[in-house]
């Protein structure tokens, strides 16, 4: 009934506003409603219905890049996205590895969000949202990769656009029924509600059948992507079988996945057969286990998980999980005592140890632990953030700046990187660079107005050098040229 209520509200608004456009206005797909319902109260400011409803897949594809970038930034601003540099890089690396194997032509964005629901969602513009609850529910890297590959297939096959296009044929009849229900409702509320509910139920049934065929297609393409990327193809049927066993489980965290990704005996059987055909040659990367346990500890701290770590078999990973749990409880010395006993071949252990050394003021040890790896990978922000913190502790602020300024940030670079860069520039009195770093962070959250105001403020600083003012002006001109119109739109919306 919650879904029907959401649909009713959207349809009622659409019918009142777009009555003359009914024959060409596709219905918002059930999958999108399910995916977005959890964040409906966050005012993500998605484009209006007519802006997202191209009459063909080609039209939707042409809009994808702009829509995806806008949605990505809104999500980073409004949702509890994990910006930990290590976890940020880990999920992006896995996603891009799968995207390359899928032959994805456009840009894809992968976000890890603190949410206990076992779910992942694909959005217009190539945005894939992965819940921490899903990561914690999986038992292997291949199981998690299977879900991401499945979501990538939804994007590469333009399922959202096809769903909108496929629903347009039945729109007129459904919309007419809704209008009739609204009219009758003014005289008899019960009768009007019955008409509207029946119309929406019929549309939902048709849409669900369409969604099931797309789920099967995403399985077929996703499992091949999984195998090509070097993961075990068995990861997909293994996870599906686990979910299928819980189909009648009242656990709401599981049911949300099953609602938006309907399973069937045929689907599970088909993926099992495909996995046998493709073989099981992939390898499991241990980085998954460490990332999963770090997520478990982090989300336990915020109350967004109730998962136990008692099932961990690897003793090193289990001790790492204990150390992370202690760390997020603020028990630094106890966490250090556990992590210091572990072998340091694993990158996650070295990063955790360096962070704990910094927290205890042993900056030289932290620097020694990470400097060689950072020299090999100078743009690795997971290494660079704790290394720069060690350099700050040692008073080698200019060296930290030289390392940070060499990084060419991407759209999905962790926000913590920009915060650290701003702080280092501030300590060195590099005022222009500090303001530019803050503006770069704001742009990545869609806060264009704030970024522009900050840079205009920087231009007026009496302490800024001529060279610094020129850099600020160049960045300001770039942001205004690219996003100034979005700032104006945002201001108008706030003024309504």
The predicted-structure confidence for 309-354, as pLDDT tens digits, reads as follows: 557 889 999 999 999 999 999 999 999 999 999 999 999 999 999 9
HEC profile of 15-56: HHHCHHHHHHCCCCCHHHHHHHHCCHHHCCCCCCHHHCCCCC
Task: Using the Cα atoms of residue 495, residue 38, residue 291 and residue 111 in order, give the sign of their dihedral.
Answer: negative
Model confidence band, residue 246 (pLDDT cutoffs 50, 70, 90): low
Q: Are 434 and 422 in contact (CB under 8 A)?
A: yes
Mean pLDDT of 179-197: 55
- Rounded to two decimals, what is the model's pTM? 0.77
Please report, in angstroms and rounded to a whole number, the separation of the first and last CA atoms in the chain. Answer: 31
The Cα–Cα gap between 15 and 201 comes to 17
Tokens 């900056």 appear where? 363
Residue 43's pLDDT is 34
Residue 158 pLDDT level (bands cut at 50, 70, 90)? confident
The residue extents of the domains of the chain are 2-278
Instruction: Write down the pLDDT at residue 322.
Output: 96
Q: Which of 166, 266, 163, 158 is nearest to 216 (CA)?
A: 266
pLDDT at 255 exceeding the cut of 90:
no
Q: How far is CA 373 from CA 93, 319, 387, 388, in A?
A: 18, 24, 10, 13
| pLDDT for position 216 | 86
pLDDT at 7 over 50: no
Please name the residues in contact with 109: beta carbons below 8 A apart, sequence gap of 6 or more: 68, 72, 125, 126, 127, 128, 411, 412
Which pLDDT score is estimated for 224? 95
The pLDDT score that the predictor gives to residue 310 is 58
pLDDT tens string 267-298: 888 888 888 888 878 788 899 999 999 999 99
Average pLDDT score over residue span 396-414: 97
Separation between Cα atoms, residue 123 and residue 129, nearest integer Å: 8
Q: What is the pLDDT, as a whole number, of residue 195?
A: 53
49: tokens are: 């219905």
**Angle between helix 332-339 and 347-359 (nearest 10):** 140
**Confidence check: pLDDT of 44 > 90:** no
Judge contact between 452 and 476, C-beta under 8 A.
yes
Residue with the bigger pLDDT between 7 and 440: it is 440
Q: Could you count the other beta carbons within 10 Å of the beta carbon of residue 402?
A: 12
Average pLDDT score over the chain:
79
Distance CA 221, CA 353 (A): 40
HEC readout, the chain: CHHHHHHHHHHHHHHHHCHHHHHHCCCCCHHHHHHHHCCHHHCCCCCCHHHCCCCCHHHHHHHHHHHHHHHHHHHHHHCCECCCHHHHHHHHHHHHHHHHHHCCCCCCEEEEECCCCCCEEEECCCEEEEEHHHHHHCCCHHHHHHHHHHHHHHHHCCHHHHHHHHHHHHHHHHHHHHHHHHHHHCCCHHHHHHHHHHHHHHHHHHHHHHHHHHHHHHHHHHHHHHHHCCCCCCHHHHHHHHHHHCCCCCCHHHHHHHHHCCCCHHHHHHHHHHHHHHCCCCCCCCHHHHHHHHHHHHHHHCCCCCCCCCCCCCHHHHHHHHHHHHHHCCCHHHHHHHHCCCCCCCHHHHHHHHHHHHHCCCHHHHHHHHHHHHHHCCCCHHHHHHHHHHHHHCCCHHHHHHHHHCCCCCCCCCHHHHHHHHHHHHHCCCHHHHHHHHHHHHHCCCCHHHHHHHHHHHHCCCCCCHHHHHHHHHHHHHHHHHHHHHHHHHHHHHHC
Token readout for 120 is: 């992942």
Question: Has residue 303 got a pLDDT over 90?
Answer: no
Closest listed residue to residue 121, CA positions, set 158, 148, 91, 95: 148
**CA dist., res. 347 & res. 335, Å (int):** 17
Q: pLDDT band at 393, cuts 50/70/90?
A: very high
Most confident of 19-33, 184-198, 207-221: 207-221
More confident residue, 350 or 492: 350
Angle between helices 159-167 and 30-37 (to 10 degrees): 120
> pLDDT at residue 451 above 70?
yes
In this structure, of 65-79, 411-425, 474-488, the range with the lowest mean pLDDT score is 474-488
Spell out a b/e string for 285-295, using b for 16 or more CB atoms within 10 Å of the CB, else e: bbbbbbbbbbb
Q: Would you place residue 171 in the very low, low, confident or very high pLDDT band (cuts 50, 70, 90)?
A: very low
Identify the pLDDT of residue 350: 98
């Amino acid at each position: 009934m919650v879904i029907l209520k959401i649909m009713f509200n959207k349809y009622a608004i659409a019918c009142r506003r777009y009555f003359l456009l009914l024959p060409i206005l596709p219905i918002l797909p059930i999958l999108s409603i399910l995916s977005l319902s959890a964040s409906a109260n966050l005012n993500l400011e998605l484009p209006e219905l007519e802006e997202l409803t191209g009459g063909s897949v080609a039209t939707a594809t042409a809009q994808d890049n702009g829509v995806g970038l806008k949605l990505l930034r809104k999500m980073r601003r409004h949702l509890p996205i994990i910006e930990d540099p290590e976890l940020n890089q880990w999920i992006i690396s896995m996603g891009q590895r799968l995207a390359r194997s899928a032959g994805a032509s456009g840009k894809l964005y992968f976000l890890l969000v603190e949410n206990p629901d076992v779910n992942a969602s694909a959005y217009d513009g190539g945005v894939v949202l992965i819940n921490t609850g899903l990561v914690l529910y999986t038992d292997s890297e291949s199981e998690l990769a299977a879900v991401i590959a499945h979501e990538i297939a939804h994007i590469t096959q333009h399922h959202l656009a096809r769903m909108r296009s496929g629903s347009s044929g039945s729109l007129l009849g459904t919309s007419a029924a809704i209008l009739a229900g609204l009219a009758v409702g003014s005289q008899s509320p019960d009768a009007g509600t019955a008409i509207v509910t029946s119309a929406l139920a019929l549309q939902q049934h048709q849409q669900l059948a369409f969604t099931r065929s797309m789920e099967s297609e995403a399985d077929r393409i996703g499992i091949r992507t999984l195998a090509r990327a070097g993961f075990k193809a068995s990861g997909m049927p293994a996870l599906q079988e686990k979910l299928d066993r819980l189909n009648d489980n009242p656990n709401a965290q599981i049911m949300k996945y099953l609602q938006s990704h309907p399973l069937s005996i045929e689907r599970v059987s088909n993926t099992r057969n495909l996995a046998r055909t493709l073989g099981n040659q992939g390898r499991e990367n241990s980085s998954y286990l460490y990332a999963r346990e770090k997520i478990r500890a982090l989300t336990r701290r915020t109350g967004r998980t109730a998962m136990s770590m008692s099932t961990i078999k690897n003793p090193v990973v289990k001790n790492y999980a204990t150390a992370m749990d202690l760390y997020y409880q603020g028990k630094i010395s106890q966490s250090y005592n556990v992590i210091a006993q572990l072998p340091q071949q694993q990158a996650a252990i070295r990063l955790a140890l360096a962070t704990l050394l910094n927290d205890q003021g042993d900056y030289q040890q932290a620097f020694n632990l990470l400097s060689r790896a950072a020299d090999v990978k100078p743009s690795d922000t997971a290494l660079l953030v704790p290394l720069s913190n060690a350099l700050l502790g040692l008073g080698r602020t200019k060296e930290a700046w030289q390392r940070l300024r060499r990084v060419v940030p991407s759209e999905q670079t962790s926000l913590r990187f920009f915060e650290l860069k701003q702080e280092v520039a501030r300590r060195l009195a590099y005022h222009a660079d500090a303001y530019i770093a803050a503006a770069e962070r704001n742009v990545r959250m869609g806060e264009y107005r704030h970024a522009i105001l900050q840079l205009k403020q920087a231009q007026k600083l009496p302490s800024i050098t001529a060279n610094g003012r020129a850099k600020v002006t160049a960045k300001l001109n770039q942001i205004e040229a690219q996003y100034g119109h979005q700032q104006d739109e945002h201001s108008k919306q706030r003024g309504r």
